[in-house]
Amino acid sequence: MKKKSPLILGCVFLILLVFAGCREVPHEVQEPELRPVRYIEVQADEGLRVRTFTGLARAGMASRMSFRVSGTLQKLHVRVGDVLEKGQLIAELDATDFQLKLQEAEAALSRAQAQARNAEAIYGRVQALYERRNASRSELDAARTGAESAEAAVRSIENQLALARRQLTYARLEAPDRCAVAAVPVEKNENVGAGQAVAVINCGTGVDVRIAVPAIHISGVREGMPVKVRVDALGNGEYTGIITEVGVSSMGLETTFPVTVRLEDPDVRILPGMAAEVDVSMDVSSSRGPVVPFRSVGEDGKGRFVYSLDLMEDGETARVRRQAVEVAGIRADGLEIAEGLQPGDLLVTAGIAHIHDGLRVKLWKEGRP
């Protein structure tokens, strides 16, 4: 049997390889997965924006009752929750010292009046002698001066007596109107100073809400502005109110300003200390542009920028476009854009560090699960 030549075998193998290469091998081409991006639609500034502030309800007329003089608290006639009528006694100080001062003033007045009568009598006698030329001019002048000094002393002591009587009344503390006692921060037999609160009372039927407004918003708050008020403890009921006071200085070390809201239709169920929310419609029509989230604005060597989205025909994908912007200022809810964005623009709001100009992405609107 003849052996096959190696040359012939090699040719056959080469022919088989050529035919195998000519055969078309099917294979699947996988498209790259599109990155989903969150976005919002840029809104036009409508001129008014509602801000919500929290605060506490309090009586429309809340007073910290105190004595005008210091002393020992001898009697305390009220307790928390008591309803007082106008003129009703709240507390009394030990009036012993004031009574002694009154008695001393009365005795001093009696002595001064006696001295004045005596000086007036002396002046009358000297004047009669002077008219008969039995007294000199200097003696007459001295007698007149003595009488006038005695009369002046009487008037001075009368003023002291009036003060002593007034101070005696200061030892009694009375209700200025029909009120309810909210707090009694002192105890019987305690030494209290002038101006120290003895009782806190709420008078009248009015209800106020005290809120703290940040400095960034205080310029948009004015006296007389109507507001809406909600009290958490009373459900979803809404009350109308009006701003009656706007603070001109911040509260302590905080950059907030005190603002008082008076309820126009107070509910008897609203009690001092209840938490409340106040909605204030602020005029922002002077804004130079829309406000966008802080995280949607980037910055590099070329300046500040955002990524806008140009929708594709399928409506589900878009092409990323870098857009230079000018920031007008910082607001509490974002950055105010002066140039670079228009209402209706689609703006990427998250992950701007992971995308680039021209990238095709899948839309994922904010708020979508």
Distance of CA 318 to the CA centre of its chain: 45
Instruction: Let me know if residue 279 belongs to a domain.
Output: yes
Q: Are 262 and 12 in contact (CB under 8 A)?
A: no
Q: What is the CATH number of the domain that holds 119?
A: 1.10.287
Residues 228 and 244 in one domain: yes
The Cα–Cα gap between 255 and 42 comes to 30
Question: Does a structural domain hold residue 140?
Answer: yes
- The CATH number of the domain where 232 resides is what? 2.40.30.170
189, part of any domain: no
> Which pLDDT score is estimated for 7?
55
pLDDT digits (tens, 9 = 90+) for 48-86: 677 889 999 888 777 899 999 999 999 999 999 888 899
Q: What does the angle CA 155 – CA 156 – CA 160 come to, to the nearest 5 degrees?
A: 115
pLDDT at 368: 44
Q: What is the pLDDT of residue 369?
A: 40
- Residues 270, 303 within the same domain: no
Q: Please count the structural domains in the chain.
A: 3
What's the domain range around 258? Answer: 204-283
Q: Is residue 7 part of a domain?
A: no
Residue 156 included in any domain: yes
The DSSP line for 79-142 is: -TT-EE-TT-EEEEE--HHHHHHHHHHHHHHHHHHHHHHHHHHHHHHHHHHHHTT-S-HHHHHH
The token duo for 282 is 């602020």
What's the confidence (pLDDT) of residue 281? 86
Q: Which of 251, 283, 315 is the last residue of a domain?
A: 283
Q: Which residue, of 155, 170, 185, is where some domain finishes? A: 170
Which of residues 253, 283, 313 is at a domain's end? Answer: 283
Matching residue, tokens 């005190």? 258
Q: Mean pLDDT in runs of 10 for the chain (369 residues)?
A: 54 56 51 81 73 86 88 93 90 92 93 93 91 89 92 94 91 89 91 93 83 85 92 83 88 78 84 88 67 90 93 90 88 80 89 90 66
Strand bridging mode 360-365 / 35-41: parallel
Let me know if residue 317 belongs to a domain: yes
Inside any domain, residue 295: yes
Look at residue 115 in the predicted model and tell me its pLDDT: 93
Please tell me the predicted confidence (pLDDT) of residue 134.
87
Tokens of 124: 């009358």
pLDDT digits (tens, 9 = 90+) for 300-341: 999 999 999 999 988 889 999 999 998 877 776 788 888 888
